[in-house]
A and B are shown apart, each in its own frame.
Chain A
Amino acid sequence: MLAPETLHGTRIVASPAALDAVDWPEGTTVLRFAPDDMFAIGLLDPDSISVADESAIVAAESGYVGCWLDHAGLAHVVAHIEWPLPIERPALAQGFVAGVPAKLYLVGTSALLLTNAPYADELWERLS
């Protein structure tokens, strides 16, 4: 049911104001892990964006694995979590899924389930 794949993109750690001001290319899915930490999925060239923070750390990121879930897939995953999903959309939720640290990016009735690559096999084995 779930077909995870490596999520290629760019990781940016910079001041919150600088991140807020970034002009993301079309087709980029931006996950705000923390006020100063973003993962731009689909942004394959870290040099293609401008970040107004000379100390920013901008690095290619391929250390996450994930897959998009439809409503039924999300319901399956939710059966393996003990914390309430946020009500607002879009929203990024982080916590244990089947005992594995993971994140859920919730958009409408679908969601992107992602985890660090070293956890991925274990997570998908537990969910399958």
Chain B
Amino acid sequence: MSESSRIIVDGRLIPFEPGDSVALAVLRAGEHPHHGGTLCLAGDCPNCVCDVDGTAYVRTCQTPATPGLVVRRHPAVGAPALRPVPQPNVTRTPVLAEVAVRRHDADLVVIGAGESGIAAVGAAEASGRTVTMLDAGDGNEVVAIYSGPTVIVRRADAMVHIHAHDIVVATGAAELHPVCPGNMLIGIVTARAALAMHAAGIDLGNVVAVGEPPYGVPCSVVAGTLVRIEGADGIVTSVVTTDDGVETTTACTTLIIGLGLAGRDLLSRMAADDASVSLVGPAAQKFALPPCPTEGIVCPCSKVTVVDLQGVWDRGFQQLELVKRASLCGTGTCQGGVCGPYLRSFVSDRSGLTPEPFTARPASRQITLAEAAADVYTDVFRRSPLHDEHLALGAQLDRFGGWFRPWNYGDHVAEYWAVREAVSLGDVSTLGKLVVSGPDSVELLERLYPTTVADIKVGRSRYVLLLNERGHLIDDGMICRESETRFVLTFTSGGAANAEMWVRDWAETWGLRVHILDQTMSLAAINVTGPLASLLLQRVGLADPPKFLQHRHDVVAGVACHVMRLSFTGEASFELHHRADRSVELWRALMTAGRDLGIKPHGLQALFGLRLEKGHVIVGMDSEMDSTPTRLNMDWAVKMSKPDFLGKSALARIAELPNERRLFGFTIPGDAPTEGSPIWIGGSIVGHVASSFTSPLLGHGVMLGWIKHRPWPGDGGPDTVQIDGRTATVAEPPFYDPEGRRARS
């Protein structure tokens, strides 16, 4: 034997013969691939599963031994240890591309290359069908059938999805395992396993057979019914049978079990309602159930005993599916391949009714997560044109609103101060950007928004809420008027896609003459904010920056921009909307020009705090699914005197009802409590904190939070609440620059 014909089992070299499976090689070495239990060597049971080359739960009886294969036994008790996984790079969406998927169409798929499978192929070909035969022995291991039908095949090189017109399942029958005391000892094999070992030249020692013996394997056949199996040091030493009430003990080192068969119908049961999937041969045969077990382990995968089943039954779980779920019998590696017949027999004995086999679900065999996830992609997160700039500046990126966005650049407090005292850049490329043009554009926007639109002058903009028919806030943003018939709308990053559909849908529903272009992903946007923002823009060519809520098209640092003056941070702010392919150029020019001004980029962590000091609401963070403007304390953004707008009638009705929830502002000494903290009044929870921030400027915590019980603060209720075990004071936002002088300066 050459040195290359060895596998490594638990760190030790074990030789193998040509044609050996891993399990046979281990048995040839006088060992057991697991720690005991009946071996079938046919892929039906869990008693030979090992970790093979780093993959756990591999059926070693179905795994050819190859030189250098590294095998580790699973622990005798408990699950195998998980492999360490390297820390993922959170700035990148994981790509599960390790396992390829191939797709094929097929006329007829026959699963199983045994006698019934070959017969099915012959009959089908004789009738002119084109047949694809799949068998695990040929490297095509079928692990699932879905309605359709679709066959999922595991191959060494790929997962194969076959869309078949018809499927014939010809998977044969499995041998029954013994259920009795001692059935997890080493040395118990089924008749077929004994045949395989004998054929492989493995010395079985003193062999005794109970039940139908295998043909050609020298053994002593013991008559009677199996009672228990006895052993020492975990290895079989004798078997006890009974015949007419008389127990007989027979010494042995190998016990062959020939108790009968059960159809392998797991795959066909996965598509039981699909008429194009049929079952033939022994797999379709209705074999008699084994006698009801009285002692021993029924489920070798989960080590469920007869006592366990009885305990479940006594607690009221008295149907097959319930017993299975409550006891976990049938949920393990073999998916009921070993325990299923005994479980049905147990339920039949207790209930008097013989249940059908339980529901089967993919996968029939253990597949790796990579195999299960093959060709399944995680949600894609968009990257702004400045993605690499952010990374180069040390940004910690996170996923927000379908985009990778900078959370901070290492020091969110420094970023906060840059905004409050100097100048800072924020990447707002992710904002929704919609152009609406046409003779009916004013009509459309008047109907969509609760604010008046017709009176917005060209070159001016207005903050707007977007409500649904129920009067609930679904998004917010700005309206910028570019001409009498043309507007630019902005939306939140996370709400942009829905907002676009919302606007288009209503434009079509109302039959209005407008054109709509979504430029969310075509344009980038940089927010230049801070008391020195105007100075910075002047340095890069914007001699006369727009006034508050003005906007215009101009050139900044050589890049054509739509410049919008607004403020989310509470400081003077200019959004520069520009072609995405010019964004890096513009960003770098601004960073360079602002170097002596103390310019820093800011991430969402600082931005969330800055806007909270101003009391600005973030849709979806501070608002809830049924938040009306009144509940958000934003009635100032609604013009109920307008003839009509989406949600108006609902708001009018809601106004007649008692309002039982409202968003309030709070301050608290010291650090702000965690977002989501309960708000207490008089020992009762009355709401929760929606946003919180420890203000470096104010020196205390500021919050927005919901109170959902009356009486409210200022309306008969207390002006203080308890949050995080401390007293917080109700305070109307804004907490910072309430007159808004800095934003307008």
| Chain B residues with CB under 8 A of A122 | 93, 380-383
| Chain B residues with CB under 8 A of A8 | 581
The closest CB in chain A to the CB of B435 belongs to A57
Whole-angstrom distance between the Cβ of B388 and the nearest chain A Cβ: 9
| Chain B residues with CB under 8 A of A80 | 375
Known: A11-B522, A13-B516, A14-B515. A55 touches B377 (CB 8 A): no
Q: How far is the CA of A61 from the CA of B517 in the complex (A)?
A: 11
Contact B513 A55 (CB under 8 A): yes
Indicate if B385 sits at the interface (CB-CB under 8 A). yes
Known: A63-B522, A99-B377. A118 touches B383 (CB 8 A): yes
Indicate if A93 sits at the interface (CB-CB under 8 A). no
Contact B382 A118 (CB under 8 A): yes
Indicate if B580 sits at the interface (CB-CB under 8 A). yes
The closest CB in chain B to the CB of A123 belongs to B380
| Chain A residues with CB under 8 A of B225 | none
Indicate if A67 sits at the interface (CB-CB under 8 A). no
Indicate if A112 sits at the interface (CB-CB under 8 A). no
Contact A119 B522 (CB under 8 A): no
Indicate if A74 sits at the interface (CB-CB under 8 A). no
Whole-angstrom distance between the Cβ of B404 and the nearest chain A Cβ: 9
Contact with A along B495-517 (1 / 0, CB 8 A): 00000000000000000011111
Contact with B along A20-47 (1 / 0, CB 8 A): 0000000000000000110000000000
The closest CB in chain B to the CB of A64 belongs to B522
Whole-angstrom distance between the Cβ of A100 and the nearest chain B Cβ: 5
Whole-angstrom distance between the Cβ of A57 and the nearest chain B Cβ: 5
Within 8 A of B (CB), among A62-84: 62-64, 79-80
| Chain A residues with CB under 8 A of B384 | 118
Q: How far is the CA of A60 from the CA of B377 in the complex (A)?
A: 32
Whole-angstrom distance between the Cβ of A121 and the nearest chain B Cβ: 6
Q: How far is the CA of A62 from the CA of B435 in the complex (A)?
A: 16
| Chain A residues with CB under 8 A of B523 | 63
The closest CB in chain B to the CB of A11 belongs to B517
| Chain B residues with CB under 8 A of A91 | none
Query: Which listed residue, B378, B379, B580, touches A117 by the CB 8 Å rule?
Result: B580
Q: How far is the CA of A108 from the CA of B349 in the complex (A)?
A: 68
Whole-angstrom distance between the Cβ of A93 and the nearest chain B Cβ: 17
Contact A59 B521 (CB under 8 A): no
Indicate if A94 sits at the interface (CB-CB under 8 A). no
| Chain A residues with CB under 8 A of B435 | 13, 57, 59
Whole-angstrom distance between the Cβ of B73 and the nearest chain A Cβ: 37
Indicate if B698 sits at the interface (CB-CB under 8 A). no
Query: Which listed residue, A11, A37, A99, A101, touches B378 by the CB 8 Å rule?
Result: A99
| Chain B residues with CB under 8 A of A126 | 95, 97, 377
Indicate if A110 sits at the interface (CB-CB under 8 A). no
Q: Name which of A8, A60, A63 has the most chain B CB atoms within 10 A of its CB.
A: A63
| Chain B residues with CB under 8 A of A117 | 385, 521-522, 580-581
Contact with A along B652-691 (1 / 0, CB 8 A): 0000000000000000000000000000000000000000
Contact A57 B437 (CB under 8 A): yes
Within 8 A of A (CB), among B368-391: 375-385, 387
Known: A119-B380, A125-B95. A63 touches B519 (CB 8 A): yes
Q: Name which of A14, A36, A61 has the most chain B CB atoms within 10 A of its CB.
A: A61
Indicate if B735 sits at the interface (CB-CB under 8 A). no
Known: A57-B515, A57-B517, A118-B403. A63 touches B580 (CB 8 A): yes
| Chain B residues with CB under 8 A of A60 | 579
| Chain A residues with CB under 8 A of B102 | 79
The closest CB in chain B to the CB of A63 belongs to B522
Contact A13 B519 (CB under 8 A): no
Q: How far is the CA of A64 from the CA of B438 in the complex (A)?
A: 25
Whole-angstrom distance between the Cβ of B671 and the nearest chain A Cβ: 36
Q: Name which of A8, A14, A98, A123 has the most chain B CB atoms within 10 A of its CB.
A: A98
Indicate if B137 sits at the interface (CB-CB under 8 A). no
Q: How far is the CA of A79 from the CA of B385 in the complex (A)?
A: 28
The closest CB in chain B to the CB of A53 belongs to B515
Whole-angstrom distance between the Cβ of B522 and the nearest chain A Cβ: 3
| Chain B residues with CB under 8 A of A62 | 522, 579-581
Query: Which listed residue, A55, A63, A101, A121, touches B439 by the CB 8 Å rule?
Result: A55
Indicate if A56 sits at the interface (CB-CB under 8 A). yes
Contact with B along A89-128 (1 / 0, CB 8 A): 0000000101111000000000000001111011101100
Known: A63-B580, A117-B580, A118-B521. A56 touches B97 (CB 8 A): no
Contact A55 B579 (CB under 8 A): no
Known: A55-B437, A55-B438, A121-B383. A37 touches B517 (CB 8 A): yes
Q: How far is the CA of A26 from the CA of B372 in the complex (A)?
A: 49
Indicate if B278 sits at the interface (CB-CB under 8 A). no
The closest CB in chain A to the CB of B97 belongs to A126
Contact with A along B347-382 (1 / 0, CB 8 A): 000000000000000000000000000011111111
| Chain A residues with CB under 8 A of B379 | 99
Known: A55-B437, A118-B382. A61 touches B522 (CB 8 A): yes
Indicate if B55 sits at the interface (CB-CB under 8 A). no
Whole-angstrom distance between the Cβ of A126 and the nearest chain B Cβ: 5
Q: How far is the CA of A55 from the CA of B97 in the complex (A)?
A: 46
Contact A55 B515 (CB under 8 A): yes
| Chain B residues with CB under 8 A of A59 | 435, 517, 519, 522
The closest CB in chain A to the CB of B430 belongs to A118
The closest CB in chain B to the CB of A7 belongs to B581
| Chain B residues with CB under 8 A of A79 | 100, 102
Known: A62-B579, A118-B403. A100 touches B521 (CB 8 A): no
Query: Which listed residue, B383, B515, B521, touches A56 by the CB 8 Å rule?
Result: B515
| Chain A residues with CB under 8 A of B97 | 126
Whole-angstrom distance between the Cβ of A42 and the nearest chain B Cβ: 15
Indicate if B485 sits at the interface (CB-CB under 8 A). yes
Within 8 A of A (CB), among B43-73: none
Contact B515 A63 (CB under 8 A): no
Whole-angstrom distance between the Cβ of B253 and the nearest chain A Cβ: 54
Q: How far is the CA of A60 from the CA of B582 in the complex (A)?
A: 12
Contact B377 A36 (CB under 8 A): no
Within 8 A of A (CB), among B438-453: 438-439
Q: How far is the CA of A118 from the CA of B520 in the complex (A)?
A: 10
Contact A13 B515 (CB under 8 A): yes
The closest CB in chain B to the CB of A96 belongs to B377
Whole-angstrom distance between the Cβ of A11 and the nearest chain B Cβ: 7
Whole-angstrom distance between the Cβ of B207 and the nearest chain A Cβ: 52
The closest CB in chain B to the CB of A12 belongs to B517
Whole-angstrom distance between the Cβ of B379 and the nearest chain A Cβ: 8
Q: How far is the CA of A60 from the CA of B559 in the complex (A)?
A: 13
| Chain A residues with CB under 8 A of B439 | 55
| Chain B residues with CB under 8 A of A6 | 581
Whole-angstrom distance between the Cβ of A51 and the nearest chain B Cβ: 11
Contact A63 B521 (CB under 8 A): yes
Within 8 A of A (CB), among B572-613: 579-581
| Chain A residues with CB under 8 A of B516 | 13
Q: How far is the CA of A125 from the CA of B378 in the complex (A)?
A: 13
Q: How far is the CA of A81 from the CA of B715 in the complex (A)?
A: 60
| Chain A residues with CB under 8 A of B383 | 118, 121-122
In the complex, besides A53-B515, A57-B486, 13 extra interface pairs with C-beta distance below 8 angstroms are A6-B581, A13-B517, A55-B439, A55-B514, A59-B519, A59-B522, A63-B522, A63-B523, A79-B100, A99-B376, A99-B378, A118-B403, A125-B95
Q: Which 9 residue pairs are nearest across A and B when measured between Cβ atoms?
A: A99-B377, A63-B522, A118-B382, A116-B521, A55-B438, A62-B581, A13-B515, A57-B517, A13-B517
What are 9 sample pairs from A and B whose C-beta atoms fall under 8 A apart?
A: A13-B517, A36-B515, A53-B515, A61-B522, A62-B579, A63-B522, A99-B379, A122-B382, A126-B97
